[in-house]
């Protein structure tokens, strides 16, 4: 979890391959209206996210009944994390931590994504950092980040 541009997709995909769990990117589940809203420079509100969070929770419930999964999702607010993890066993939260300046520079260099750098302030404004999450510094190399996460969760590759 973390703001857009923190590396959720990259790290999620890397972990997925290393621990042989399915990977899902929450961005792929956004309704078209949400994508249009973000592309036009408007941040999503709680109402916009409601159906999206329900869809993601259903996916996680299904996955928790079998092998589990890795989900890359902003999950900015505690109430979003509560909704995502409702009726899901063994949820582990990983927070990808980085400064506004570093993440903004990443977003400015990212092409072909609906989330633009101008919306980053709204994400940092909404961000409620969970004290129970594994905190990973995004200045680390991706493999170092994955190694730290696996070590914290006691998972071998």
Q: What is the pLDDT of residues 71-129, one digit of tens each?
A: 999 999 999 999 999 999 889 999 999 999 999 998 887 676 566 667 889 899 999 99
Q: In angstroms, how far is the first alpha carbon of the chain from the final one? A: 21
Q: What is the pTM of this model?
A: 0.90
Q: Which CATH number fits domain 8-151: 1.20.1440.60, 3.30.450.90, 3.90.79.10, 3.40.50.300?
A: 3.40.50.300
């Amino acid at each position: 979890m973390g703001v857009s541009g923190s590396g959720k997709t990259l790290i999620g995909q890397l972990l997925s391959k290393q621990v042989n769990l399915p990977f899902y990117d929450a961005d792929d589940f956004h309704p078209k209206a949400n994508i249009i809203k973000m592309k036009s420079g408007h941040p999503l509100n709680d109402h916009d996210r409601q159906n999206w969070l329900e869809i993601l929770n259903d996916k996680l419930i299904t996955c928790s009944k079998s092998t589990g999964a890795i989900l890359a999702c902003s999950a900015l607010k505690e109430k979003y994390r509560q909704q995502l993890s409702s009726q899901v066993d063994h949820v582990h939260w990983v927070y990808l931590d980085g400064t506004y300046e570093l993440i903004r520079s990443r977003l400015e260099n990212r092409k072909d994504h609906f989330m633009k750098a101008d919306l980053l302030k709204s994400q940092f404004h909404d961000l409620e950092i969970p004290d129970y999450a594994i905190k990973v510094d995004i200045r680390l190399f991706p493999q170092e980040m994955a190694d730290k996460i696996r070590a914290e969760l006691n998972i071998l590759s």
